[in-house]
Amino acid sequence: MSETYFDTGILVDTLAGHHLAMAELRRVARPWISRVTWLEIMGEVPPPAREETEAFLANFAMREVSPEIARRAATLRFERPALGLGAALVLATAQEHGAILVTRNIKDFPAQMPGIRVPYSS
């Protein structure tokens, strides 16, 4: 079975209590995130919520940015210059591991793109 990675938007929605986002997380036995997703989430959390948010993120298996992921992200950015660095790294992480990326970000990750699952729109 393929790994399932979650993009930042799905996690933000989960933290906000969005029922469709929570349902997506319940669909998989072992959810994954990229270190970049962790950074994007934690970089926006106010100090009083940091401990609780970090505990939530500890429920995810995490991939660090390897040289192979960095190379793939660089290629993605070359092929799609409008793709931001964070999005390229998150997508490259999922692609490098033959995984599905669950996202609501259809601007950067069109639903018809192989390996992308868009369970709902924002």
Where in the chain are the domains?
4-117
For 45, residues 6+ apart whose C-beta sits below 8 A from its C-beta are 53
pTM for this model (two decimals): 0.93
Q: Which phi and psi (to 5°) does residue 93 adopt?
A: -60, -50
pLDDT at 122 over 80: no
Q: Cβ contacts of residue 106 below 8 Å, gap of 6+?
A: 118, 121
Each residue of 33-87: pLDDT tens digit? 999 999 999 999 999 999 999 999 999 999 999 999 999 999 999 999 999 999 9
Residue 117's φ and ψ, nearest 5 degrees, are -125, 120
114-117: long-range contacts, CB 8 A cutoff, minimum separation 24: 117/4
Task: Determine the CATH number of domain 4-117.
Answer: 3.40.50.1010
Q: Residue range 85-109: average pLDDT?
A: 96
Q: Residue 2: what pLDDT?
A: 82
